[in-house]
C-alpha cells in the first residue's frame, strides 16, 4: 500500500478532514451499531435476571449472588475494554494480526496441556482467584484478524493452490486444537469463515456444495432415505428438462447423483460410529425429541414448551413459569432465548431476531465501506461469526438445529463470551472510525 505523493494529492481533502477531527473519534464511530450492541447487552442482562428470578425469593437484579449481578461486572469491564480498543492506534490490529494469532495458538496449546477438565472439556485456564478464561473464545477474533491480514496480501481469486492452503491452515488450526480440548461447539464456529471467503472471491460452488451437503445431512435425518433419493432424482430430471444442454453432461450428472446417494447412506454410519454418544443424542434430539423426553430430548422439549407457551404477546417480564423453576437447563447461558420466547412472546422473539438481522446487515455495510481489504475482510469475519452463533443458538432452542453449546452473542450470561464478542465487534468499529485515514483499497 505504498502511497505515492500524487495519489496522496487525490485524497487530500479526506486526509485533511480526518486529521482535523482525529481527536474526536466519536464523530466517526458507527453509532447505529453501538446502539444495537447496547440494546442487546441491556436486554440480555434483564433476561438473565428473569431467568434466575423466583417470585418466592426475590433477589435484587444487582446482587452478586445471582448471575445478573455478576453479568453487570462483566458489562462494566466490557466498557473499559471498549475504551481501550478505541483509544489504541487502529493500525495495531493490522500490524499485530499475526503475533496476536500466534500468541493465541500458543495459549490454546498451553491450555490443552495444563487445563483441568471441567465438564469433560480441557478448555478453561485458571487465572487464580476463581477467575477462569476460555482461550477458545479469544481464538475467534484472533483468527479473524489473521485471516483478514492474509487475504489483504494475496488474491484468492487467482486460485493459487498454495495460497488457498495457507489460508485453510490459518482458519482451521485453532478449531483442531479446540476439538482436542473437547469443545466441539466452539470449533464449529470457524466454519462460518466460509462466508467471508465467499465475499473475497471464493468460488460460489463451494458455498453451494457446502450448503447442499449440510441440507442433505439434515434432510437424511428427517426424511426417509427412499423419498429423499426419489426427490433428488426428480430434481435432477427437472433440471435436465428445463435445460436440455445438460444431457451432454450426463456422465457428470450421474456421478453427482451417485455421490449424493452415497452420502445419504453414509450419514447413518457417521452418526452411529463416528460421533460420540452425547453428540449422537443431540442429533437424535433434533430428529425426534419426543422419543425420550426425560433423557436426551429434555432440553429441546422443555425449551420448545417454554417458548411455545409464550404465545403472541408473551407472559410478561418475570412472569414466565417454565423458565423459572429449572425446567429449562442452562437458562441464562445457552438457552437464554427461551426466556425471551416465554415472557415476551412472538413479538419479543421477532424483535430480537430483527435486532440481530439488522446488526448483521449493518456490519456487512460497514465492511463494504472499508478502504482496505483487511478492514473489509475483518468486517465479514465479524458478521460470519456472529451469524453462526445466532443461527445455531436460536435454531437449537426452537428445534431447527442440534444442541450445540454456544452462546447467543452479547445476550448470554458469561464474561468470556461477552468480552470476546465485544473485542470482535469493537475492533471493527475502531477500524471503521479511522477508515478515512486509509488511502487505498
Partner 1 sequence: MKYLENRKYVIQGIFLLVGMVYALRLFYIQVVDSSYKQAAETNAIKTIIQYPFRGLIYDREGKLLVQNTPVYDLMVVPKEVKQLDTLRLSSLLELPLDDVRERLKKARTFSYVQPSIFYQKLTTQDLAHIQDNLIDFPGFYINARTARGYPHQSLSHALGYIAEISPKQLEDTAYVGYRPGDYIGKSGIELEYEKFLMGKRGVKYKMVNVRGVEKGPFKEGAYDTLSVAGKNLVSTIDLDLQAYGEHLMNGAKGSIVAIEPATGEVLAYISAPFYDPNLFTGKDYGKNYMALLQDKDKTMFNRPIMADQNPPGSIFKLVQALIALEDGVITPKTQFACNKALVNCHPHPSPLDLYGAVQHSCNPWFFQAYRLLLNQGKSNNTFTDTSIGLRDWREQVLTFGFGQQLGIDIPGEKKGIIASPEMYDRVYGKNRWKYSTIYSLSIGQGELGVTPLQMANFMAIVANRGYYVTPHIIRSVGENGKPLQEYQERHYTSVDPKHYEPIVEGMAEVVRAGTARRANLAKVGIEVCGKTGTAQNPQGPDHAVFVAFAPKENPKIAIAVYVEHGKWGGQSAAPIAGLMIEKYLTDTVTIKEQEKWVLSREYLNIKSK
Q: Does 58 bind partner 1 (CB under 8 A)?
A: no
**In the bound complex, what is the minimum distance in angstroms from residue 23's beta carbon to partner 1?**
32
Question: Which one of 109-117, 124-132, 176-184, 352-360 is the stretch in contact with partner 1 (CB under 8 A)?
Answer: 352-360
**In the bound complex, what is the minimum distance in angstroms from residue 326's beta carbon to partner 1?**
6
Which of 22, 293, 317, 439: binder of partner 1 (CB under 8 A)?
293
Question: Which one of 88-96, 176-184, 383-391, 407-415 is the stretch in contact with partner 1 (CB under 8 A)?
Answer: 383-391
Q: What CA–CA distance (Å, rounded) separates 417 from 409?
A: 7
**In the bound complex, what is the minimum distance in angstroms from residue 103's beta carbon to partner 1?**
30
Q: Quote the distance between the C-alpha of residue 202 and its chain's center.
A: 20
If you search the block for the grid coordinates 431447527, which residue do you land on?
Answer: 400
Proportion of the chain in helix, strand, coil states, percent, rounded to 5: 70, 0, 25
Q: Which helix (H) or strand (E) holds 211?
A: helix 204-222
Which of 394, 425, 433, 436: binder of partner 1 (CB under 8 A)?
394
Q: What CA–CA distance (Å, rounded) separates 323 from 341?
A: 10
Which of 110, 235, 258, 357: binder of partner 1 (CB under 8 A)?
357
Closer residue to partner 1, CB minimum distance, 18 or 164: 164
Question: Which one of 10-18, 92-100, 267-275, 384-392 is the stretch in contact with partner 1 (CB under 8 A)?
Answer: 384-392
- Among residues 46, 45, 52, which one has the least CA distance to residue 331? 52
Q: What CA–CA distance (Å, rounded) separates 194 from 171?
A: 10
Closer residue to partner 1, CB minimum distance, 25 or 305: 305
Contact indicator for 107, 165 with CB cutoff of 8 Å: no
Which of 104, 306, 373, 396: binder of partner 1 (CB under 8 A)?
306
**In the bound complex, what is the minimum distance in angstroms from residue 210's beta carbon to partner 1?**
12
Q: Does 86 bind partner 1 (CB under 8 A)?
A: no
**In the bound complex, what is the minimum distance in angstroms from residue 129's beta carbon to partner 1?**
23
**In the bound complex, what is the minimum distance in angstroms from residue 309's beta carbon to partner 1?**
3
Q: Which cell is 351 given?
A: 424483535
**In the bound complex, what is the minimum distance in angstroms from residue 120's beta carbon to partner 1?**
16
Closer residue to partner 1, CB minimum distance, 387 or 419: 387
Closer residue to partner 1, CB minimum distance, 257 or 346: 346
Gyration radius (Cα) of the chain, Å: 24
Sequence-separated (6 or more) residues with CB below 8 Å from residue 379: 363, 364, 366, 367, 368, 370, 428, 431, 432
Q: What CA–CA distance (Å, rounded) separates 358 from 33?
A: 9
Q: Does 98 bind partner 1 (CB under 8 A)?
A: no
Closer residue to partner 1, CB minimum distance, 216 or 246: 216
Q: What CA–CA distance (Å, rounded) separates 333 from 323?
A: 12
Closer residue to partner 1, CB minimum distance, 181 or 302: 302
Q: What count of residues does the chain have? A: 441
Q: Which helix (H) or strand (E) holds 300?
A: helix 298-308
Closer residue to partner 1, CB minimum distance, 275 or 360: 360
**In the bound complex, what is the minimum distance in angstroms from residue 367's beta carbon to partner 1?**
8
Q: Does 296 bind partner 1 (CB under 8 A)?
A: no
If you search the block for the grid coordinates 458469561, which residue do you land on?
Answer: 414
Q: Quote the distance between the C-alpha of residue 441 and its chain's center.
A: 27
Contact indicator for 171, 140 with CB cutoff of 8 Å: no
Segment 318 to 347, residues that bind partner 1, using CB under 8 A: 321-322, 325-327, 341, 345-346
Q: Does 57 bind partner 1 (CB under 8 A)?
A: yes
Cβ burial, residue 422 (10 Å; 0-12/13-18/19+): buried
Segment 204 to 233, residues that bind partner 1, using CB under 8 A: none
Q: Does 311 bind partner 1 (CB under 8 A)?
A: yes
Closer residue to partner 1, CB minimum distance, 78 or 370: 370
Sequence-separated (6 or more) residues with CB below 8 Å from residue 334: 393, 396, 405, 406, 407, 408, 412
Segment 170 to 209, residues that bind partner 1, using CB under 8 A: 195, 198-201
How many other CB atoms are found less than 10 A from the CB of residue 89?
Answer: 9
Q: Does 289 bind partner 1 (CB under 8 A)?
A: no
Q: Does 126 bind partner 1 (CB under 8 A)?
A: no
Q: Does 89 bind partner 1 (CB under 8 A)?
A: no
Q: What CA–CA distance (Å, rounded) separates 111 from 217?
A: 33
Dihedral of CA atoms 197, 190, 128, 419 in degrees, nearest 10, equals 60
What does the binding site for partner 1 look like in residue numbers (CB under 8 A)?
54, 56-57, 157, 195, 198-201, 293-294, 302, 304-312, 321-322, 325-327, 341, 345-346, 349-350, 353-354, 356-357, 360-361, 364-365, 367-368, 380, 383, 387, 390-391, 394-395, 398-400
Amino acid at each position: 500500500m505504498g502511497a505515492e505523493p500524487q495519489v496522496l494529492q487525490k485524497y487530500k481533502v479526506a486526509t485533511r478532514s480526518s486529521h482535523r477531527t482525529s481527536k474526536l473519534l466519536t464523530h466517526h464511530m458507527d453509532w447505529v451499531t453501538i446502539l444495537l450492541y447496547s440494546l442487546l447487552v441491556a436486554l440480555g442482562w434483564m433476561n438473565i435476571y428473569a431467568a434466575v428470578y423466583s417470585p418466592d425469593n426475590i433477589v435484587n437484579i444487582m446482587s452478586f449472588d445471582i448471575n445478573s449481578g455478576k453479568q453487570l461486572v462483566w458489562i462494566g469491564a466490557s466498557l473499559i475494554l471498549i475504551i481501550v480498543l478505541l483509544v489504541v492506534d487502529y493500525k495495531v490490529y493490522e500490524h499485530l494480526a499475526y503475533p496476536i494469532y500466534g500468541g493465541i495458538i500458543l495459549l490454546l496449546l498451553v491450555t490443552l496441556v495444563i487445563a483441568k477438565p471441567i465438564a469433560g472439556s480441557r478448555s478453561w485456564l485458571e487465572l487464580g482467584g476463581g477467575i477462569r478464561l476460555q482461550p477458545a473464545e479469544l481464538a475467534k477474533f484472533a483468527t479473524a484478524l489473521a485471516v483478514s491480514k492474509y487475504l489483504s496480501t494475496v488474491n484468492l481469486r487467482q486460485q493459487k493452490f498454495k495460497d488457498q492452503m495457507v489460508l485453510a491452515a490459518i482458519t482451521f488450526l485453532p478449531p483442531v486444537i479446540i476439538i482436542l480440548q473437547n469443545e466441539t461447539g466452539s470449533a464449529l464456529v470457524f466454519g462460518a469463515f466460509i462466508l467471508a471467503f465467499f465475499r473475497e472471491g471464493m468460488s460460489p460452488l463451494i458455498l453451494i456444495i457446502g450448503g447442499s451437503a449440510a441440507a442433505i445431512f439434515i434432510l437424511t435425518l428427517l426424511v426417509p432415505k427412499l423419498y429423499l433419493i426419489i426427490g433428488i432424482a426428480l430434481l435432477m430430471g427437472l433440471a435436465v428438462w428445463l435445460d436440455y444442454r445438460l444431457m451432454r453432461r450426463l456422465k457428470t450428472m450421474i456421478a453427482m447423483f451417485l455421490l449424493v446417494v452415497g452420502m445419504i447412506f453414509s450419514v447413518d454410519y457417521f452418526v452411529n460410529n463416528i460421533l460420540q454418544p452425547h453428540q449422537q443424542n443431540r442429533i437424535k434430539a433434533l430428529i425426534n425429541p419426543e422419543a425420550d423426553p426425560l433423557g436426551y430430548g429434555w432440553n429441546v422439549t422443555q425449551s420448545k414448551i417454554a417458548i411455545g407457551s409464550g404465545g403472541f404477546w408473551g407472559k410478561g417480564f418475570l412472569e414466565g413459569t417454565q423458565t423459572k423453576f429449572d425446567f429449562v437447563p442452562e437458562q441464562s447461558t445457552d438457552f437464554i432465548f427461551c426466556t425471551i420466547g416465554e415472557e415476551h412472546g412472538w413479538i419479543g422473539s421477532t424483535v430480537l431476531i430483527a435486532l440481530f438481522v439488522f446488526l448483521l446487515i449493518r456490519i456487512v455495510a460497514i465492511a463494504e465501506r472499508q478502504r482496505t481489504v483487511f478492514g473489509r475482510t475483518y468486517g465479514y469475519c465479524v458478521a460470519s461469526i456472529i451469524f453462526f452463533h445466532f443461527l445455531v443458538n436460536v435454531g437449537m432452542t426452537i428445534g431447527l438445529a442440534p444442541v450445540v453449546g454456544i452462546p447467543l452473542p452479547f445476550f448470554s450470561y458469561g464474561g468470556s463470551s461477552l468480552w470476546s464478542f465485544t473485542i470482535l465487534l469493537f475492533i471493527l468499529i475502531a477500524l471503521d472510525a479511522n477508515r478515512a485515514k486509509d488511502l487505498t483499497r
